[in-house]
Every structure is written in C-alpha cells, then in structure tokens.
Structure 1
Amino acid sequence: MRSALWLLALFGIAVAVALVAGNNQAVVTLFWPPHRVDISFNLLMLLLAGLFTLLYVALRAVSVVFSLPAEARRWRAQQKERAMYAAFMDALSHLTAGRFIRAAKLAQNAITQEKSLKQLARTSSDVGGYSAARSTQLRLLAHLLAAESAQALQNRTLREEHLQQALKTSTHRIAQETREGVQLRAARWALDDRDPAAALELLNQLPQGAARRTLALRTKLRATRQARQTSQALETARLLAKHRAFSPPAAQSIVRGLALELLGGAHDPTQLQAAWQSLDASERAMPELVIHAASRLMALHGDADMARSWLLQVWELVMQPRSEVSDTQRIKLIHVLEQGLDSIDAAWLARIESAQQQRPRDANLQYLAGMTCLKRQLWGKAQQLLSQASLALQDVTLHRNAWRALAVLAEQRGDESGAVQAYRRAAEV
C-alpha cells in the first residue's frame, strides 16, 4: 500500500512539472560585459539543481575524509568491547562447567580489555556507545567470576585480591547494585571458611534495603547460627518466615529449634525468664517450647509455681479429646510435673486427680497420680495406682521409676521380699 501511494505521488509530481515547465516560455538573460547570454528558465533551474547536488556531494566527501580517524577509533573501541564481552561470557561458561583455571584467566582477560577500553574512551571523546556504568558493572562481575574461581581452587589470596578490587566504591547506581551482590557472595565465602564474624561484617555493610532481602537474611541466619548468636538468629528466622522464604512447616521447625537453643542457653532462672519473655506469643504457645522451658526452669532450681503456670496451657491441650500433643511430649510433661511434686498446690492436685479419673486406663496419668499420692504419703492409693501403671507403661524411665517407687512402698510396709523383687524389676527395665 505504501509503495502504491509513493508511485501515485511520483506521477503527481511528474504531471505538475510537465504542466509548469512544458509551456514555460520564460527566458533568463545573463549580462557579463561585453557578453550577453540568453537561456531558458527551465535550463537555469536544471543547472542550479545540478550545482547544488555537486556541492552537496563534495561536502559529504570532505566530511567522510575528515571523519575517518574517528571512525577508526570507534572501530577499535567496538572490537575491544566485543572482545571484552566474549571473554566474560567464556569465563562464565567455563565457571559453570567447572573449569576454574580457564575461567579465572578469561575473567582477567575481560578486566584487561575493560581497562583498555576505558583508557581509550578517556583519551578520545568520540568513542560512541561507551557506558561508564555498564563498563564498571562488567568489571565488578569479572572480578566476581575470578574470585569465585579462586574460591573453588582454594586460593584465598587470589580470591581476596579480586574481592577487594570488586568492593571498591562506585558512584553508578547499576554498579552499586552489582557491588551489593559481590558483598553477599563474599559473605557466603566467609561462611564456607567458617568465619561468621567476617560474614556478619560484610552483611552489616549492606544498605538497609539490601540487608532485608531474602538472600541476605538467609546468609545472616547461617552466620548467626555459626556464631552462636541465637537471639539474632531467631529474629532473622522470624523475618524469613514473614517473607515466606520457607514453607510454613519448615519455618515453624527452624523457629522452634532456635527457640529451644535460646532457652537451653540460659544459665540461671533470670536469664531463662528473659529468654521466655523474648519469644512471641505464638512461640510461647508451642507445647515443645513450653515443656522445655519448664523443664529447664526446674533444672535451674527456679520457681516451680511459675513452671507449672507455663505448663497449664499444655495440660489443657493434653486433656482435650483429640489432642495433637504427641506421646513424647506427654511423657516429658509428666517428667516436669513429677520434679515439682514436693511444692504442688491444691489446684494442681485436683487437676491430676480429675484427669486420672476421666482416663482411668491411661498409664501415664496413673503413674503421675501414684507419684503424687506417694509424695502426700497416701501409701495405699499410691500402691494401687503405681501397680496398675507398672503393667502398661511404655516409657523406660517412667517404668523404672514406678518399680523403684513400689520398692520404697514395700520397704515402708516391711515387705523385704517385695522390695527386692521390685528393685530387681527396676533393674531389668
């Protein structure tokens, strides 16, 4: 369609010229004393058009001749740029293929080409297509490839040399983003060298926005765990869970493990209470954490009433008809409650008795109720409950403790043979 329109336009122009010039009888007289030249107006127009065309072609030729040096410089810069990108791509390919020595050499070649191109652009202002930001970005990436190859070859000296070159401050925004990536990669190298302090230092140098990225938080989580900074690791794990960096079960497992480590690191009741208060409400509702915190508090000779107040929510979960509390956690709960039976109050006595009556066939509750009666010197009821529990207990520790308690009750009655038999059964468990 466009060609047809152009053809119609040419025909229109030709018709217009024919109409104007065909009947044009005008004559132009040129006086050059003592000569006089008479030419037609149409011929004058043709001569002027030819002269204009000749001058235009001459000027273009002169311009091309004078621009040849600049074109030569542009061509050389283009060739250097192509060689630089080719060396970089080859280095990346060799690094991916595991040919680290060749990758390091080609990355160094790319850096050399970039320096040469930069020097050429600095001395010649007519080098077109040169971008300082992109050139700096490629230099940073080339240093990163060389450092990555050196890391794979366990050449830490060469790695640090290229790393320091890559970490030089740049004013270009694109190069600055690449520099942040180099810092993140350097932090991972420090973790591979088991140097979490260096990794955390590199992560702390990142801008606030970059430090909250998922990759940075993952690296920080590894670094804080290696450095035994459990509190910071727990906070980082919470941020990762908030950003959905892990699946919900995996995030819960990681947070739970770090919280257990934080509680286990307390060395006195005050530290333990501070660690417990630092947990989120959702974390303080996890049965594993509640039982572990209460057990740790009892082991540190803390307040037994406080431990039982923590355990109350888990006890209520256990008493539900379809409780999700596992058998292992139930047994741990029994162990923790057993440790504080000396100072147990009336409310907890009522809870234990009511639970045992509601579930008369639960051996664990029978054991707990029997040990409670033993502490209260209710010998007959303790004998009955512990005898029933000893026949069905699955946990080795509870089973052994039940037989030892029966041996104590037998000694209390003066039944030496029964005590010996009970001690023997405890030893056999």
Structure 2
Amino acid sequence: MVRLLLWLLGLCVLAVGLVIAARENDGFVLLQWSPWRIELSLNFFIVVLLLGVAALYSLFHFIDALLRMPARARRYRLRQRRQRAVTALRDSARLYFEGRYGQAQRSAKVAVEGGESPGLAALIGARAAHEMRESDQVDAWLAQASQHEDLRTARLMTEAGILTDRRDFADALTRIDALQSGGQRHVAALRLAMRARRGLGDWVGLLRVVRLLQKHRALTPEQAAPVRRQAHMGALRDADPSDLDAYWRDLPALEREDAQVVRAMCEALIADGQQAQARKLIEAQLDREWDSALVVLYAETDGSDVQARIGRAEAWLRVHPGDAGLLLALGRLCRTQQLWGKAQSYLEAALAVQPTRGVHVELALLHEHLDRGEDARSHFRSAALMG
C-alpha cells in the first residue's frame, strides 16, 4: 500500500513538472518543404512525435501478430491434442483396471495418436486386447510397443505374461531369458518362469526357479513345498532308471521325507524292477510318518518275501487298526501268498471301512479263484459302477 502511494505521488510530481516545463518552454519547430512552411510549438511537436512512434509501434506489432497467428494456432492445436492424449493415457489405465477393456483400447489409441507415451499406451492396449482374447489386436499393439526400446523390460514382461496365458510356454521362456540375459533377477519374471516351466514339464528348471524365488523371499516355504513336490514327482517319473539313485542322493534330506515324493520314487523303482529298494524306502517312510496311500503300494511290490511283508503289515495294523489302505494291502499280500481266508477277512474289513473300486476288484479276483462265480460277478459289477 505504501509503495502504491509513493508511485502515485511520484506520478503527480512528474505531471506537475511537465506542465510547468511546457508552460515555460517558448521553443518552436520549423518544418520547410518548398513551397510549404510549417511552424509548430516545440511542446506540440513532442506530443505529435510520441503519438506517431506509438502508432507505428502498434501497427508493426499488429502486423507481426497477424503473421504469427498460423504458428500460434498450430501450437494451440498441438497443446490441445497433447492434453487430450494425456487424458486418454490416464483414462486407458483407469479403464483397464476397471475391466472395461474395449474402452481402454480406444483410449490407448487416442494416446498413441497424440504422441503421449505411445509405447506405454500400446502396452496397455495389448493387455486390454489380451483380456478380450483378440490375438490379432494383441500382436498389433505389441508391434507398436517394440518400436520403443526404452520400454524393453515392460514389453518383454507383457509378452511373457501373454504367452504364458496362451500356454505358449516355450516362447514365453524365450522372452524371460532375454529379460534376464544381463544377469538381473527379476522376481516377477521368475514367477512367470515357474508357470512356464511347469507347463512345459521342465522339472529340473522348475526346481531351480523355485529355489531362486525362495532365495529372494518371493515364495514362502508353504507356497514352495507343493511346487517342489510336483517337480520331484515329475522328474522321477521322467528320469532314466539308471539315474534314479543319483537323483535320490542329491535330494535334500527334508525333501526325501515327503510322502508323495517317496511314493513317486518307489513307483519308478518298481517300474524298473528294483523291488527290494522300493520296499526299504516304503518301510522307512511308514515308520517315520504313516501314509495310507503308500502302504497300498507296499503290497504291489513283487518278491519272495511276502510272508515277511505280511508280518510287517500286521504289526502296523496293531497301531492303525482301522486303516482301509492297510487292510487292502494285507488282503492283496495274503491273496498273493494264497492265504485265502485271511485275504477275504482283510478285504471284507477294508470294504466295511471304506468301499472302493480296488477292494471290490480284489474281492472279485479272490472269489473268481475260489470258483465263486456269482460273488465274483457281483463285486465286478460294483467295481464297474464305482467307475
């Protein structure tokens, strides 16, 4: 406020000074251009000169503005287009997360055409098209995104995720390998690699990825256990028989105690004819942790020590008297040993505890061997009805 008053005071003093100076100024200006002669007071001449300069300046400024108008109009249109593109990019992301994938693609197209982060907009469009199962559109969006090298990591991650969802696991792993070629461990990429290697049945690679994810604390032990178990079971199923012992020795002790892994190892050993080794593994596992499904496999091993296995199984029965799997295993072992009465007793006990197709088949075979045709057919029918 004080500054404004000082300015007003200064202007008043200046105006008074100019008036006094003009009153005391008797000078004149003589303009002669034959045959004309003009005489003006100096004060009037100064006023006319100042007004003329101001008029010329205004005229030139107006002409310059007219000449600049097309460029200014272009810049204005570009600013408007850029603003629309920024809004479209923001809308495309929002619409994608809202699940409105068609509108997300349209907004992404506006953003690309407006030049606002076209690579990022193309990736959003690709993901939206993938959600709508529009494969051709996905490929077109990804082709646009590939022109922007600064978004290489984002593009490879998007491609890997889309290819994994398409179950094109080999190509997905190619993108993931390219992403990690610099030695960087990308946790999200490792998660995709886990899915892809599981889909391909690359069990050794799956185990390696699971261990890396655990190392980076991206998987809890509870989350890793079923994946690791599946990988071991698949690897044992596909392993060459000559490599079984080496594979088993290389397993960590804790993983060798997993009942399902032990079962897969025993099945592989039985298929290779290594019956004695399979029985030892089953007995050690059952002594450590009871597994009803594993004891059924115990009866499927061939060999001459059936009587010893029956004795071992009957000792288990005293600890687990109502276990249907154990009763079924004892019935099979007794049938193999031609202990028909004991076999029938154990199998009927198993049937009473838990009727299953396997028990009906065993009873049917037993009755068939004992020439009880009607009982055998009855159990075969029951087994067939149970699928």
Taking structure 2 as the reference length, the TM-score comes to 0.63
**Matched residue, 1:401:** 362
Residue 299 of structure 2 aligns to a residue whose secondary structure is: helix
Q: Output aligned runs, 1:91-102, within 5 Å.
A: 91-97=92-98, 100=101
Cα distance in structure 2, aligned partners of 1:252 and 1:179: 33
> Is 2:105 aligned against 1:144?
no
Displacement of 1:307: 1.2
User: Partner residue of 2:303?
Assistant: 342
Contact 2:310/2:334, CA 8 A, preserved across alignment: no
Distance, in Å, in 1 between the alignment partners of 2:331 and 2:97 is 67
Please give the per-residue CA displacement for 1:205-235, whole angstroms capped at 9, x wherever unaligned. 1035886333212222222233333332343
CA displacement at 1:304 relative to structure 2: 0.8
Give the counterpart of 1:221 among 191, 194, 206: 194
Q: 1:107 to 1:304 in 2, by over 3 A?
A: same
Q: Is the 8 A contact 2:263 2:294 kept in 1?
A: yes
TM-score (norm 1): 0.58
Question: 1:149-206 CA deviation, whole Å, 9 max, x = no partner?
Answer: 4445555445334423423464xxxx4xx43122111112223333222211111110
Query: In structure 1, what is the equivalent of residue 263 of structure 2?
Result: 291
Aligned letter for 1:310?
L
Match of 1:390 among 321, 327, 347: 347
Supply the distance in 2 between the matched residues of 1:420 and 1:109 (Cα, whole angstroms). Answer: 79
Q: Quote the Cα distance in structure 2 between the aligned partners of 1:406 and 1:399.
A: 10
Alignment CA distance shift 1:428-1:80 (3 Å): closer
Aligned partner letter, 2:146: L
The superposition leaves residues 78-110 of structure 1 with CA deviations (integer Å, 9 ceiling, x where unpaired) of 666544423322333444455555544543443
- Residues 87 and 106 of structure 1 are in contact (CA less than 8 Å); yes or no, is this contact kept in structure 2? yes
Residue 314 (str. 1) matches residue 285 (str. 2): yes
- CA shift, 1:252, in A, is 2.6
Q: Report deviation, 1:316.
A: 0.6
Quote the offset at 1:374 in angstroms. 5.8
Q: How many residues align?
A: 315
Give the C-alpha shift of residue 341 in structure 1: 4.1
Which residue of the partner structure matches residue 166 of structure 1? 145
Aligned equivalent of 1:122: none
| AA at the equivalent of 1:389 | Y
Q: What residue in structure 1 maps to residue 155 of structure 2?
A: 182
Q: Does the residue aligned with 1:312 lie in a helix, a strand or coil?
A: helix
Is the 2:119–2:147 Cα contact (8 Å) retained in structure 1? no
User: 1:303 deviation in Å?
Assistant: 0.7
Percent of pairs with identical residues: 25
Aligned residue in 2 for 1:262 = 235
Cα deviations by residue, 1:378-401 (Å, 9 ceiling, x for unpaired): x6xx34532431331134424542
C-alpha contact 1:367 1:385 (8 A) present in aligned 2: no
Matches within 5 A, 1:113-132: 113-114=114-115
Separation in structure 1 between the aligned mates of residue 163 and residue 261 of structure 2, nearest angstrom: 32
Separation of aligned partners in 2, 1:162 and 1:366: 62
